[in-house]
A and B are shown apart, each in its own frame.
Chain A
C-alpha cells in the first residue's frame, strides 16, 4: 500500500474504482440471493400435446399450458402476469385460471383474470401467502407456428404493490405442423369424423385420424420389412439350391446331412430359430448387427423350404430329359443348368412365390428381438396412442405386397396348366386328339397282343 501511495494519482483512481466495483457486486449478489429466496420459484412449465400421435406440441395449434410456481419465504403474491412468446395466438374460448395449493390441498382463491395474445394476468382478491403453490392453467393457447423452444416470461406484484420480474419459465418444445398434422387436426373438427368415432369399434380399430397419421409413420417400417425379405429371400435361393443338390447326392452320407438340415429347420418354429440366433450368438462372443442377423436367420430358414421346393421341382422333370441331354454328350452340370433348371424354374415359381409371401409375413417375428421393422413401428405407435388403428394400417401394408403376389401366382398357375394342355400343333387343333392316357392304353393293348404266346 505504501508503495502504491508513493505512486501517481492515476493508480489511486484505479484503486477506488476497483473497490467500488467490488462493493457493488457484493450488493448485487446479496440482492439477487434475497430475491430468489423471497420471490417466486418456478417449478414447472408444460404444454399438453395437441397431437393424437406422439407427444409433440405443434405450433399454431391451441394447446393447454400449465405453469407452476411456489411463493417464496416472506413473500406474498397479489398478481401474476405471464407474457407469451411473440407470435402466440389465442384459440376460441381461450382463458386462464389459477389454482392455489397448499401441498395437496386446494385453497379457495378468488381471482380475476384477463387474457390476450400477448399475455395473461391473474389478480388474486387476497394475496397468496408464502409457501403456497400457484398453478396457472391457460387453455387454447396457440404457440408460434415455427418450431423451437419457447419460454414464458412476465412479472408479479407482491402485497406491497411492488412489481418484480419473473424468472423465465422452463422451455416448451414446439414443432411445426406437418401436412399430416394439419390433416388430422382438421379432421378433429369434422362432424363426420366425430360421428364415426362415436362408434367404439370404429374409433378403436379404424380411427380416421390415426389412419392418416399411421400411413406415413409406418412407411419406413414397411420399407425395412420389405428389405429384410428382399435381401433374405434371394440369399436363400442359392443356399436352397445347393441343399437340394446335396439332398439328391449319390453319397448317402451327404444326403443324410442335407436331410438333417432341411428337417430340423422345417420341423422347428422360426420364432425359436430367431431366439437361438439372437440370444445364442452373443454367448459365443459373436455380435452381428441385429438387422443383418435378422436377414441371415430368414435366409437360412427359407433355404430349407426352398431346398424341398427345388428338389420336388427337379425330380418332377421327366427322366427322359436327363437322358436326352446326356445322349447329346452334355455333362451332368450342363444338363442341370441348361436343360433341367430352366424347366424347374417355371414349375417352382408358384410355390417359391408362396414361400416368399410366407417369409415376408414372418419378418414380423423379428420384432420380438428388437429388429426395427413394420411390427415394431406399429407396436410403438399403438403404445403411444392406445389405439389399435396402427395395427390395422400395418395389415394394409402387408396386404399391399401379399395380395398382388397371390394374384400373380394364380395367373401363373393358370398359364402353366394351359401350356401343359396345349401339346398339339396349331394345324392339328381342329381334329380331336387322343389323350395321353388313351394313347398309352392303346399302345399297351398292341403290345399285349404281341406278347401273347
Chain B
C-alpha cells in the first residue's frame, strides 16, 4: 500500500473489493492472502513472474476459480457467498483470455451474438446490430462473417474483446491478452484496450507491456508467490521500486 496518495481514482466505493483471498490447488497455496480494491473507471495492471498467481487472482474475480477462503465483492454483492447467482454476476464482468477462446464454429459476428441472445435474451436483430457496432469499434467491420480460423491472432483477440464488451460489462478482466500474439499484431489489440480505458472502463489487466501500463494504468500492481508485493502509480513502481523482488523482476523484463 505504498504511494496511495498518488492514485487518481475517485473516492466512491470500490467496484471490486478483494479481501484476504486464499486459494489452494490441493496442498499448493497459490494465493496467500490478497487484498485489492479497484474503483470505478480505474485501470489496474498486474505484473509478476510466471506462477505468481496473477491468472488465478483474475479468475477468482469471476469465479472461474473458487477461492478457498476470503471474500470478493462486486459493488455490494459478495460473490463468494454461495447464494450469489454467479451467472448473473458474470454478465457484468467481461474477461479476455490469453488464448482468445473464440468459438470456432461461429463467425466473428456469431461469437458476439451468442451470449446476447442466450443470456441477455436479445432478439436476433438487436443482437446482430450490437455485434456489428462492437466489431466496428475494434476495427473489424469487414470481418463480421469470418470464422476465427480465418482471422489472425490479433483480429481474433479483438473479436474476443468485442464479444466481452457487447455484454456491456462494468469491469473488464484481461489475462495476458497480447502474450500469444506475434509482435506486430500486439499493437492493434493494445490500441483497442487504450480506447477502452479512455472511455472510462474499469479494467484489471494482467500484462507485461510496460509501455501500455505507463500510458494507461492508474495503478500498477506487482505480485510474487501469491501475494501483492508492491503497488502504486506506474511511474513510481517502474522507476523507483521499493522491493528487492520488484527490482529483480523489472531488471529482467526491461
Task: Show the binding face of A for B, using Cβ within 8 Å.
Answer: 318, 320-321, 323-331, 334, 338-339, 342-343, 346, 419, 422-428, 433-434, 439, 443, 447, 449-453
Contact = CB atoms under 8 A, between A and B. Distances in A.
Interface in B41-100: 49-51, 62, 64, 87-88, 90-91, 93-95, 97, 99
Contacts of A320: 97, 99, 101
Nearest to A419: B149
A328 B150 contact: no
B97 A450 contact: no
Contact of A329 (B88, B97, B103, B151): B88
B34 to A, nearest CB: 20
B209 to A, nearest CB: 12
Contacts of B155: 425
Contacts of B105: 342-343, 346
Contact of A425 (B49, B90, B150): B150
Contacts, number: 94
A453 B248 contact: yes
B149 A327 contact: no
B208 A329 contact: no
Contacts of A433: 182
Contact of B118 (A330, A422, A447, A453): A330
B90 A428 contact: no
A114 B151 CA distance: 94
Grouping DSSP codes into helix (H, G, I), strand (E, B) and loop, the A interface class, with mixed when no group exceeds half, is helix
Given A343-B105, A439-B180, A451-B50, A425 B164 contact: no
B87 A324 contact: no
A31 B248 CA distance: 135
12 contacts: A318-B99, A320-B97, A323-B97, A324-B103, A326-B87, A328-B114, A328-B167, A330-B87, A343-B103, A425-B150, A439-B182, A450-B49
Contacts of B103: 321, 324-325, 339, 343
Interface residues of B, number: 41
A323 B101 contact: yes
A417 to B, nearest CB: 12
A443 B180 contact: yes
B87 A425 contact: no
Interface in B208-254: 208, 248-249, 252-253
B152 A425 contact: yes
A329 B152 contact: no
B115 interface: yes
Contacts of B124: none
Nearest to B87: A329
Nearest to B248: A453
A426 B87 contact: no
B170 to A, nearest CB: 13
Nearest to A425: B152
9 closest cross-chain pairs (CB), A and B: A324-B101, A328-B115, A320-B101, A329-B91, A327-B95, A425-B152, A329-B90, A329-B119, A451-B49
B252 A338 contact: no
B197 to A, nearest CB: 20
B50 A328 contact: no
B252 A452 contact: yes
A403 B49 CA distance: 56
B163 interface: yes
A328 B164 contact: yes
Given A326-B64, A326-B90, A453-B248, A425 B115 contact: no
B200 interface: no
B154 to A, nearest CB: 9
Contacts of A324: 95, 97, 101-103, 160
B208 to A, nearest CB: 7
B6 interface: no
A424 B156 CA distance: 10
Given A320-B97, A343-B104, A447-B50, A328 B88 contact: no
A439 B146 CA distance: 24
B253 A450 contact: yes
Nearest to A341: B105
Contacts of A342: 105
Nearest to B181: A439
A443 B182 CA distance: 10
A250 to B, nearest CB: 13
Contacts of B8: none
Given A330-B118, A334-B118, A450-B252, 6 more contacts: A323-B101, A328-B90, A343-B104, A425-B146, A451-B50, A451-B252
Interface string B162-178: 01100100000000000
A428 B150 CA distance: 9
Nearest to A439: B180
A439 B183 CA distance: 11
Nearest to A317: B104
A281 B108 CA distance: 54
Nearest to A421: B149
Contacts of A419: 149
A108 B207 CA distance: 116
A310 B25 CA distance: 29
A330 B164 CA distance: 12
A412 to B, nearest CB: 15
Interface in B175-198: 179-180, 182
Given A323-B64, A324-B103, A338-B114, A329 B167 contact: yes
Interface centre among A323, A424, A425 (most CB of B within 10 A): A425
B149 A422 contact: yes
Given A323-B64, A328-B164, A328-B167, A338 B253 contact: no
Interface in B94-148: 94-95, 97, 99, 101-105, 114-115, 118-119, 146
